[in-house]
Amino acid sequence: MKKIIIIASCFIIAIITGFVLMTFRDAGEFKILQPHSKYKCVKIANIPSPEDIAIDHSTGLAFISSSDWRAAMKGEFHQGAIFSYNLEGTPVLRNLTADLKIKFLPHGISFYAAPDGRKYLFVVNHPLPRNCVEIFEIQKNSLVHRETVEGKLIISPNDITAVGPRQFYITNDHGSSSALGKKLEDYLRMSRSNIVYYDGAKMRIVADGFSYANGIWATSDGKRLYAAATTGKKFYEYERDADGNLKPYSQLDLGTGADNIDVDAKGIIRIAAHPKMITLLKYLGSKEIQSPSQIVEVFKNEKGGYSFKETYLNIGDELSASSVAAGYKDRLLVGAVCENHFLDCRAVK
C-alpha cells in the first residue's frame, strides 16, 4: 500500500511539474531575447499607464488613454484621462478630460472620422464595478461627451474599433467577469473570450473562441477586421459584411503575447506584444520588475497569406510591457500597460 502511495504521489508531482513547465514554455519564459530596434526613441514622461493610442492622420493629433492600472488592480480608483499629443506642432501632453464629470478609467480607444466630417473618439471605460463604452465628439482639439453605451455582453472589455458614429466592435478579453474565473481562463488557456458588435441599437457576439482577445482594428473601407489574441498568440483577419457579421479569412501564429493593433496611413499593420507573459504578470504586481517590450509588423507574403517581422525588442529598460505601437509618417508612438511614460520614436535611416 505504501509503495502504491509513493508511486501515485510521484505520478501526480510529475504531472504538475510538466504542466508548470509547459505553461512557462508557452508563456515565452524560456526565450532568449536579443534586443534590437529600427527606431531611435525619446521618453515622454508624466502620463500614467499610456495603454492605448489613436491618431487622427488628417491632423497629426494623437489621443492617449491613461489610467492607473496598478491602483485599479488593488481595488483603488483614480480618475483616468485622455491626453492629446500633437505630432505636427509642439509635442506637448494636454489633458482633454480634466473637466469630465463621469467616473472614468479608460482602456482601449478608437478614432473615427464620419463621412459628414465629424470626428469621434470611442473609449472602453471601467467605472468599477461596471464596464461600458464612452463616445466623445472631437471639436477643436477638445472632447465633448455624447453617450455612454452599456450592455450585458460588455463583460470584460479591452479594446474597441469604431465603424460608425454609434457603431463599434469590442473585444472581451475573458468570458468570465470574476477574478477567479479570469485566472482560470489564463492559466488553463481556456478559449472563452469573444468579439461583440454594437449596431447602434443592439449588441451581439460575432466571433468567439479566443484565448484572451485583445487588440482589434477595422479597416477604413469597413470590409476587413483584424483581431489579436494575447495568450492565444495569434493575429486574425475577418471579412466584414454590411450587417457587421464577421467571416474568418486567415490567421497567423505570432508566437508572442499580442496586444493592441494599429494600422497607419500607409497600411502598415503593427502589433505591440509581450514576449514573456509570466514576467508581464510579475511586472503588473511590482514596478521594480521589468517586462520586455516588442513590436511586430504584419504583412502580406508572396503566397497571399500573412507573415511578420520583429522591428523592436527591448528587455524593459527603455519601456516595459509595450501595449500599442501607433505609426504616423516617420514617427512611432509606443504606449505601455503600467509605465509612467511612452516613447516617441523615429525610424533610423
pLDDT (tens digit, 9 = 90+) per residue, 187-202? 777 889 999 999 999 9
Position 119 scores a pLDDT of 98
Mean pLDDT of the chain: 93
pLDDT of 20 reads 67
pLDDT of 19 over the 70 cut:
no
Segment (H or E) for 24 = helix 2-26
Residue 53: the pLDDT is 99
Residues in CB range of 278: below 8 A, 6 or more apart? 23, 24, 27, 29
**Nine-digit cell at 348?**
533610423
Please write the tens of the pLDDT for every residue from 258-314.
Answer: 999 999 999 999 999 999 999 999 999 888 899 999 999 999 888 878 999 999 999
> 240 — phi, psi (to 5°)?
-120, 130
pLDDT for the residue numbered 301: 86
DSSP 100-169: --S---EEEEEEEE-TTS-EEEEEEE--TT--EEEEEEEETTEEEEEEEE--TT-SSEEEEEESSSS-EE
**Annotated catalytic residue within 36, 57, 78, 107:** 107
pLDDT digits (tens, 9 = 90+) for 62-114: 999 999 998 888 888 899 999 999 999 888 999 999 999 999 999 999 999 99
Write down the pLDDT at residue 180: 83
Model confidence pLDDT, tens digit, residues 319-343: 999 999 999 999 999 999 999 999 9
pLDDT of residue 140: 84
- In the predicted model, what is the mean pLDDT of residues 151-179? 95
Inter-residue contact 195 to 213 (CB < 8 Å): yes
pLDDT of residue 341: 97
d(CA 336, CA 343): 9
Q: Where are the domains of the chain?
A: 1-30, 31-347
CATH top class, domain 31-347 = mainly beta
β 50-56/61-66 pair status: antiparallel
* Radius of gyration of the chain from its Cα atoms, rounded to whole angstroms: 20
274 is catalytic: no
pLDDT at 188: 77
pLDDT band for position 21 (cuts 50, 70, 90): low
DSSP assignments along 327-339, one per residue: EETTEEEEEESS-
In this prediction, residue 9 carries a pLDDT of 64
pLDDT at 10: 65
